[in-house]
Amino acid sequence: MLLANAHGYWNLQSFWFLLIAILWIGYFVLEGFDFGVGVLQRVLGRTEDERGTLIKTIGPVWDGNEVWLLTAGGATFAAFPGWYATTFSAFYLALFLVLVGLIVRGVAIEYRNKSSDSTWRARWDWILAISSGLPALLWGVAFSDFVRGVPLDASGTFTGNLLDLLGPYALFGGLTFLAVFCFHGALFLTLRTAGDLEKRAHAAAVRLAGPAALLVLGYLIWTYVNARHIHDKGLVPGVIPIAALALPFVAGALARAGRTGWAFTATALSIALITATLFLNLYPRVLVSSTSNAYSLTIFGTSSSHYTLVVMSIVALILTPVVLVYQAWTYWVFRARLGGEDVGTPLEALARSPLGSQN
pTM as predicted: 0.87
pLDDT of the chain along its 359 residues, tens only?
Answer: 334 444 444 588 999 999 999 999 999 999 999 999 999 999 999 998 999 999 999 988 888 889 899 999 999 999 999 999 999 888 988 899 999 999 999 999 999 988 888 899 999 999 999 999 999 999 999 999 998 888 888 888 888 888 888 999 999 999 999 999 999 999 999 999 999 999 999 999 999 999 999 999 999 989 888 877 666 554 555 678 888 889 999 999 999 999 999 999 999 999 999 999 999 888 889 998 888 888 888 999 899 888 899 999 998 888 888 888 888 888 888 877 887 554 444 434 434 433 333 33
- What is the pLDDT at residue 343? 47
Question: Bridge partners of 158?
Answer: 152
Residue spans of beta strands (DSSP E) within the chain: 285-287, 297-298
Residue spans of beta strands (DSSP E) within 35-119: none
- What is the pLDDT at residue 227? 76
- What is the pLDDT at residue 345? 43
Cα–Cα nearest to 33, from 205, 247, 162? 205
Euclidean distance between the first and final Cα of the chain, in Å? 62
- What is the pLDDT at residue 353? 39
Alpha-carbon span 17 to 40, nearest angstrom: 34
- What is the pLDDT at residue 3? 40
- Sort residue 232 into left (φ over 0), alpha (ψ -120 to 50) or beta: left
- What is the pLDDT at residue 338? 80
95 by Cβ neighbours in 10 Å (0-12 / 13-18 / 19+) ranks as middle
Alpha-carbon span 132 to 34, nearest angstrom: 8
- For the chain, domains (ranges, CATH) are 29-346 (1.20.1630)
